[in-house]
Amino acid sequence: MKLKKKQRLLKKFKHKKLVASSAIALSMGIGLFSGQVLADETVTVTSEQEDNSLTGNITQANTQTTTATTTTQIETPKTAEAPVQTATVNTPKTVNTVTDTTDMATAKTATAPVPSTAIDETQDTTPSVPSITKVHNEDEVAKTNAQNQNVSQETKPVITVPATTTNTTATTQTKVAATSNTATNFFNYLGETARQVANDYNIYASMLLAQAGLESAYGQSTLSTQAHNYFGIKYRGTGNYVTMNTLEFYGGQYHTVSARFQRYDSLYDSLAGYARLITQNYPNSTRAAGSVEAAVNNLYHGRYGAYATDPSYASKIMSLINTYNLKQYDYVNQNVGHIDSISLVGNTLKVSGWHAADNSKAQNHGYIIVYDVTSNHEITRQAYSPTSRGDVYKVYPRVYNSGNSGFNVTINLGNYDLTNKEIKVISRFSNQSNGEGAVTDLWSDGYIFKQSLGNIDSAYIDGTELKVSGWHAATDAVKHPYNYIILYDATAGTELSRKKVTATRRPDVERAYPNLYNAVNSGFSVSFDLSKLNFVAGHNLQVVMRYAANSDGEGDRIDVWSGKYNFNGNEAVIDTAKFEGTKLHVTGWHAADASRNQPNAFLILFDKTANHEVARVKIGTSNAVASAKAVNRPDVAKAKNYYNDGRSGFDAYFDFSKLNFVAGHQYQIVSRFSDATNGEGNRTDVWSGIYNFNGNEAIIDTAKIEGTKLHLAGWHAADASRNQANPYIILYDKTAGREIARIKVGDRNDVATSKLVMRSDVQRLKNYYNADKSGFDVEFDLTKLNFVAGHEYQIVSRYSDATNGEGHRTDVWSDVYKFTANAGHLDTVKANHQKNSLTVTGWHAADASINQKNAFIILYDATTGHEISRQTYTPSKRTDVARVYPNIYNAANSGFDLTFKNLNLKSLAGHNLQVVARYSNQKNGEGSRTDYWSRIFKL
């Protein structure tokens, strides 16, 4: 319903009074009758603050966009949200401005659906006799929704009963004698307003009408004629009221009392008051019930009790609904839609928007029709399949196809010339596949096109400059000889700069648009130095391609506006983050468009585990704990398009020996641009990934017995050494499960000596704190230890925060070492038959000799399988053996040279003989022992 028509109707309802045949006003505070207004009583009208929380008057205005012909400077773009537009407008008609054909890198925000007046256009119409539906602003829907929500909370009243002269139940309705003609006139009178209120509140208009007729005697009660109160609703504390006498039942009898009843200014207000009562106190009597029958029956089950206790109340309501066909008012045949964008590119018309209509349930063929208003005929039509539009559904949830009401069609106009012609777009639903038959149409506003095409081929930041290239051609360029490219800040609504350009040749444009004036000379390429402009990263920028009549780019002009560019790039990469001695070396780059306004670059070390900053340094400076220098990064400039990206590099050191560094904590590196010299203020950050500096690694390069000493060499590097500064090497007997000895690296004690070794090779290969000072060289004197050959041993390299090697510590356990070397050799055998003696020489070296100190040489008859003789000996020096077997405990003192006497060599002739060299822990050569068996020899 149009606004003025609706206001006239409401005014008519407000002042017209129906003649009362009886005076019945049943007050329904929270759905319970409160009394009966006595007939022929004086009605007193009292004015209080008007309750305008919901009037139902929806003001709708056509959305109109027109183009300016002259301004001194660009203030706003021609179209707020038009995605692609290619025509200038020279008409006072309601026309959407047309901008460019740029394929933008930044996606546009879809325009929200704009509601239009609901008009039933199901009649068979043709384009030559259009029933025009204008496109309206969505603010009215928001307003309506807000009004629908602004409903006062009901309060539970004192229960009263209507006055009667017979002994009837308290809630029995007084029957009103009315002719069928009276009821029909009443329902016709209220019908459309009831339909609107019911639609606004999601209730059944048929139930509303039936209750209004029953409660007001079809509009003849005093309360309805004098106060527009068709439901006997008592005064609720706001707005106007009337005072009437009514009967109330208490103390076992009826009493005549003066009561206040709500006075409404219009029919709509009265019906809306009833609707609020239903939605708040009888929620199961709304359309949520699923049918009007269910909604009526649910009147017995309100939040505070039954609407009426009369057991036949529901049947009375349904009787009225069926008798007078009131269900016809339950169906609102809506037809709404909107053209979101329209553009003409060459001979191709692109149209997008939505069309939702209840009739589309039966008329399921969607069409977009292009209509020439100037020549008064259809140009072409194209069928489409509606697409999803959840935004439309949110505003029109009860329109049949609102959830799938979208269209986005591209229409080839062939050779049809639209220049200087007014066209309209008709969105249609039809019951026939050719778009005829029964149809429901929506007609757009008129559009007049003059060809003006443009495109931004590229727009990117190179160093401190924004470089823009593209083309712009227009049919009227001959009358507008001054060619400008304008940089516009759409966020701030201001022009940043403009450049006058000389067009360059674009034969590709001419091939694509041969009929477009100056297409062959439509190219441009300009640069804007952002360092000299009020450029703000994150603002939406647009490029305006202009032909102007005046030399300064003003006066009459032809513009094409690009889409929006948002230069807010922000990227950083940490190339390296590694320890070099006690310093963390960080290199990388950070480039951000915001650096134009935030010139102070910082690196910040952040302890994520402790959630606090550890240190920061401004790039190009140094302080007590860090230093950083700027680095040119031509590789970044080549690969990226950020402001000043060629100067985005950094090279920094953080001295962890001076920081509160805790190994095992998670750290992040924050690269920042700030507009404050201390790195605060407005800032743009990039946070690195997480670095967990808890490295711990050790290698045993050497583990060997040298004479009576165990020699260990290797390295141990751990980030924890920053806080655990005491390095130890521990010899551990895994077999016995106990520590044998320990030595602090760099110290000596009675069983071991050690020294710190610089390891530049480790620092080059590993990324650990203090890795260059991770080496060690240790000797344990096994003669002074409870060392057992054959046991499994491990070397533990440790960092500890305690000087004795305990407390908090970080260990690396080596592989298992088992010292069981055993080697020997029989050098010579000499028999003296005259003396019956046998002399043998050789050597026997064994790690076990450290515990098996009794050395024996045994002569063994392998032929008979028995020992012939044994002798003890004291090992002699064998430097030659030590050179060959340096890692066997006693190699340097492993020699033997002894003679077996008083032998019966004759009896041994031809026997297989062997020499057994033995170390034993018993003086008789038995017990635990380690043997070396020589080769077999014969006498």
Per-residue model confidence as pLDDT tens digits over 146-197? 333 322 223 222 222 222 222 222 222 333 333 457 899 999 999 889 988 9
Closest CA to 769 of 727, 826, 817: 727
Helix (H) or strand (E) holding 146: helix 139-149
Query: For position 178, what pLDDT does the model report?
Result: 37
Question: Does 483 or 479 have the greater pLDDT score?
Answer: 483
Beta bridge partners of 354: 338, 406
Contact 83, 545 (CB under 8 A): no
Q: Is the pLDDT of residue 926 over 50?
A: yes
**Which amino acid, one-letter code, is at 395?**
V
SS3 590: strand
417 pLDDT more than 90? no
Q: By percentage, how much of the chain surpasses pLDDT 70?
A: 80
The predicted-structure confidence for 627-650, as pLDDT tens digits, reads as follows 999 999 999 999 999 999 999 999
Confidence of residue 26 (pLDDT cuts 50, 70, 90): very low
Which pTM value belongs to this model? Answer: 0.47
Where is average pLDDT lowest: 135-144, 440-449, 546-555, 830-839?
135-144
The distance of Cα 133 from the centroid of its chain, to the nearest Å, equals 40
- Alpha-carbon gap, residue 779 to 274, rounded angstroms: 101
pLDDT band at 373 (very low <50, low <70, confident <90, very high): very high
Report how far residue 717's alpha carbon sits from residue 849's, in angstroms, rounded to the nearest whole number.
Answer: 36
- The percentage of the chain sitting over the pLDDT mark of 90, rounded to a whole number, equals 64
Amino acid identity of residue 358, one-letter, is D
**Largest Cα–Cα distance of the chain, in whole Å?**
168
Tokens of 896: 């033997």
Radius of gyration of the CA atoms of the chain, in A: 51
Contact 88, 453 (CB under 8 A): no
Say whether pLDDT at 457 is over 60: yes
Task: Give the tens place of pLDDT for each residue, 701-752.
Answer: 999 888 889 999 999 999 999 999 999 999 999 999 999 999 999 999 999 9
For residue 566, pLDDT beyond 50: yes
Nearest to 617 by CA among 629, 600, 603: 603
Q: What is the DSSP letter of 76?
A: S
CA distances from 816 to 238, 700, 752, 886 (A): 92, 11, 20, 20
What is the structure's pLDDT at 390?
A: 95
The answer to whether 98 and 89 are in contact (CB under 8 A) is: yes
> Would you say residue 795 has pLDDT above 80?
yes
The Cα–Cα gap between 527 and 535 comes to: 14
Confidence band for 516, pLDDT divided at 50, 70 and 90: confident
Residues 16-27 have a mean pLDDT of 27
pLDDT of residue 355: 96
What are residue 431's phi and psi, to 5 degrees? -90, 5
Beta bridge partners of 497: 487
Position 89 pLDDT exceeds 70: no
Three-state SS sequence of 609-645: CCCEEEEEEECCCECCCEEEEEECCHHHHHHCCCECH
419-453 pLDDT, tens digit per residue, is: 668 899 999 999 999 999 999 999 999 887 777 88
Between 28 and 434, the higher pLDDT residue: 434
* String of DSSP letters for 810-835: EEEE---EE---EEEEEEEEEEETTT
How distant is the alpha carbon of residue 216 from its chain centre? 57
Phi (first) and psi of residue 589, to 5 degrees: -150, 155
Nearest Cα to Cα of residue 255 among 181, 326, 160 = 160
The residue to which tokens 């399949």 are assigned? 385
Whole-angstrom distance, CA of residue 677 vs CA of residue 681: 9
Mean pLDDT of all residues in 593-599? 94
Helix axes 267-281, 205-216, angle to 10 degrees: 110
Are 326 and 395 spatial neighbours (Cβ–Cβ below 8 Å)?
no
Asked if 307 contacts 295 with a C-beta cutoff of 8 angstroms, the reply is no
> Which DSSP symbol is given to 676?
S
Which pLDDT score is estimated for 232?
85
Q: Does the pLDDT at position 118 exceed 70?
A: no
In whole angstroms, give the CA distance from residue 330 to residue 191.
10
Q: Is the pLDDT of residue 521 over 60?
A: yes
DSSP state string for 395-446: H-TTSTTGGG-EEEEEEE-TT---BT-EEEEEEEEESSTTS-SSEEEEE---
Q: What is the DSSP letter of 733?
A: E
First-to-last CA distance in the chain?
135
Q: What single DSSP character describes residue 517? A: T
Work out the mean pLDDT of the chain and round it to a whole number: 81
- Annotate 833-902 with three-state secondary structure: CCCCEEEEEEEEEEHHHHCCCEEEEEEEECCCCEEEEEEECCCECCHHHHHHCCCCCCHHHCEEEEEECC
Find tokens 């966020």 and name the residue: 491
Packing angle, helices 205-216 and 180-201, rounded to 10: 130
Highest mean pLDDT among 12-16, 358-362, 521-525: 521-525
Q: How far is CA 908 from CA 827, 835, 857, 865, in A?
A: 20, 14, 18, 12
Tokens 């016995």 — which residue? 736
Condensed to tens digits (0 to 9), the pLDDT of residues 44-85 reads 333 333 332 222 222 222 222 222 222 222 232 332 222 222
- Judge whether residue 91 has pLDDT over 80: no
Dist. CA 793–CA 798, nearest whole Å? 16
Compute the half-sphere exposure of residue 492: CA atoms within 13 Å on the CB side of its CA: 14
Indicate if the pLDDT at residue 35 is higher than 60.
no
The residues that bridge with 584 in the sheet, in sequence order, are: 579, 654
pLDDT exceeds cutoff 90 at 408: yes
Q: What is the pLDDT of residue 594?
A: 93
Q: Give the dihedral of Cα atoms 322, 328, 332, 334; nearest 10 deg.
A: 150
What would the mean pLDDT of 866-882 be, rounded to a whole number? Answer: 95
